[in-house]
Amino acid sequence: MAENVSVQIDSANTGLGNMAHDRGLLDEAESTSHPMTRLRLYRWTRATVSIGNHQQPDRAFDFNYCDTNGIPWVRRPSGGRAVFHSSELTYAVVSNDARIFPPGSLVETYERLAGWLVEGMSRAGISARITHRQRASPLSPGGRAPGPCFLSPTRDAVTWAGRRLVGSAQRRARHSFLQHGSIPLQIDYPHMGAALAVEPDHLRQRVISASEAAGAAVGFHHLARALEAAFLEMFC
């Protein structure tokens, strides 16, 4: 199975380039008859807001703040809600391999990938856990609905001390899926809050960075290598 699984680490890419690359991987997985699983780990060259495939920009984030501060926005091919990407590690998992991920089951795929994230975090010195959340009404900051990704309920949230450490969203095609995830390395709460139209104090209560959870600075390559090792061990 190992030859069907690969990992790519990109240290810097632009927002549009990232989304086009990930969409290309999903198209490849959907069109090929051969099993394939790809993990891509990357970061962003500049602060960017990404929104889910079906979101409306004027309701997803503070467009005026982002425009004034030179923060571009892009649309993800995956679902979910607005994410502020800055000092972070982003992952994209694409697969059509039913031997690894249950075909057609969003819930079980989330569970398997949440387990991988927790194991990878552990290798990086972060004691994360999976929190199984009940369905709840999402936050609607400032009259906007729905709220950003990190404040919305999810099936299997990866958390630290009750605060969200990873924001993930998935898109399923007929034979394959793409799951995106955002792992902040550092968080500028006022900047993130302004971009997403959320009070910074509310973010602090609900969201945490990898460095804060570890109690020490966590670098992109350190976390990427830990996640890569866990992925290859679990899915090869």
User: pLDDT (tens digit, 9 = 90+) per residue, 134-175?
Assistant: 544 343 334 344 456 555 545 679 999 999 999 999 999 999
Domains of the chain in sequence order: 2-235 (3.30.930.10)
Secondary structure of the chain in HEC code, one letter for each residue: CHHHEEEEEEEEECHHHHHHHHHHHHHHHHHCCCCCEEEEEEEECCCEEEECCCCCHHHHCCHHHHHHCCCCEEECCCCCCCEEECCEEEEEEEECCCCCCCCCCHHHHHHHHHHHHHHHHHHCCCCCEEEECCCCCCCCHHHCCCCCHHHCCCCEEEEECCEECCEEEEEECCCCEEEEEEEECCCCHHHHHHHHCCCHHHHHHHECCHHHHHCCCCCHHHHHHHHHHHHHHHHC
The pTM score is 0.90
Lowest mean pLDDT among 8-12, 49-53, 82-86, 188-192: 8-12
- Centre a 10 Å sphere on the Cβ of residue 99 and count the other Cβ atoms it contains: 12
What's residue 135's pLDDT?
Answer: 46
Q: Helix 220-235 crosses helix 106-123 at what angle (to 10 degrees)? A: 130
Residue-wise pLDDT for 108-140, tens only, equals: 999 999 999 999 999 999 999 999 865 443 433
C-beta of residue 146 within 8 angstroms of C-beta of residue 52 = no
To the query of whether residue 66 is one of the catalytic residues in this protein, the response is no
Question: Using omega within 30 degrees of 0 as the cis cutoff, is the peptide bond preceding 72 cis?
Answer: no
Question: Which one from 5, 47, 124, 149 is the annotated catalytic residue?
Answer: 149
From the list 141, 139, 146, the residue with the least C-alpha distance to 197 is 141
From the list 78, 97, 76, 90, the residue with the least C-alpha distance to 30 is 97
What's residue 141's pLDDT?
Answer: 39
Please give the Cα distance from 12 to 75 (Å, whole number): 18
